[in-house]
Structure 1
Amino acid sequence: MKEPAKTGSGFWRSLRSGGVPSAIASVFGAPSAQQMAFIRSLSREQRRTEVLHLPLNRLETVVFDLETTGFHAQHGDEILSFGAVKLVGDEQVDEFYTLVNPKIPVPNNITELTGITQAMTDQAPALIDGLHDFMAFAGRSVLIAHGTGHDKAFLNAALWKTSKIQLTHRILDTMMIARWLKPSLGSYGLDEVLEEANIPVTMRHHALEDAKMTASLWKEYLRLMRHKQVETLEDLYAYLCNF
């Protein structure tokens, strides 16, 4: 397995070196009324309504995946890696990948599944560094993942542990979209929906590769949704709510 590359914004390194206004940096110190107000303003910004009316072919999204030490964020399992692809409509514009040090042993079965070893994580950045670089990369984008429950639980646990905030981004689940668009498929795991969509499988259980394949799936679903006159995020939410 090649040494993972890391791309994306250095926003949080800039924050720690004093290159970001103190109003932002203060969020990560001791809580205060001012800081809580700032966090709520961030939450409102992520939930801005105008994005609902933006055509899907102009919507900025970040398709992401996490690898973790297990499946239970609330019972001690930790994030091992972040992978993400940024799109505008169906055009990829950037990607992001980093390992992080979970500060707990990497189970043998997880190493067998992901290729991530204890030695690799021992040399990796701290969780707060990887997490904040990922969040800076995500910015204001709508987040997309396949089977979002797992990833959202781990992101929320990590955000609360490091920064005492919760995820406020809008999130789309390609598994839910697949159930709507392909009601007779039967099984909706990533392998099954990729096969049904004729998307080649490159490397499973690698955060960036899984994110890339899920991004290809999102592009295919964008094409199918255009035939159903689904033009905006609001249209898509309406269909999924009624499904």
Structure 2
Amino acid sequence: MASEDAEILCKLETLKEIRSKMLQLEKVKARLKQDVETTEQENVCLKEYREEMDMLLQEKMAHVEELRLIHADINLMETTIKQAEVERNRSLEAAKRMYEEVCPLKEHVDQLRASIGLEKLPSLEEEDDRITPQYFEKQKAEWATDQTDPPIPESLAAAAAAAQELQVARQKGDTGRGFRQQPPPMKACLSCHQQIHRNAPICPLCKAKSRSRNPKKPKRKPDD
């Protein structure tokens, strides 16, 4: 009888231990499932974050390319301006020589005409009010002040130079992935109302989920 009681007590202790271990097992399993679920959710979020980062980098490079082109246009325009100044100055010097040549020649012609009773020819200024002795000196004085061109703002110049350096560095280390020449389409975040990429799954500023204004409609199943 005593052995049976001892056996029953042993079984009861075993059952208590089993129950305790079962409770512990269920807790661990629940924690395991929760950790796996969290891992999957974070993995999805990481994928979305990386896609958003990739779009931002593409947008950045689009602006870098735009600044590089602006910087190239500025250099081209500076060269064009200098060439135009050289051509203008050459034309002015040629006009001045022609003026110095035509004045005594006209005076001589007027003297010959007067000797036979003819009127003098109209003066050069009467023919063209720009052709005066003061014209050439005035042009030189005005153009001298034009030589001091307004400098490019330091911020723009620095940004353009940095953009060009970044572009060169990117071309040297390019792995074959291109970037878009135009900035990507944008939309307003429904939470913070800031402009974000149209396809961004989350707002990079306020971290709110981004909902599409035109969600895709589910495909209709074919009729049976």
Given the two structures, how large is their TM-score scaled by the length of structure 2? 0.23
Name the larger-Rg structure: 2
Greater strand content = 1
Greater helix content = 2
Q: Which has the higher contact order (CA 8 A, sep 6+)?
A: 2
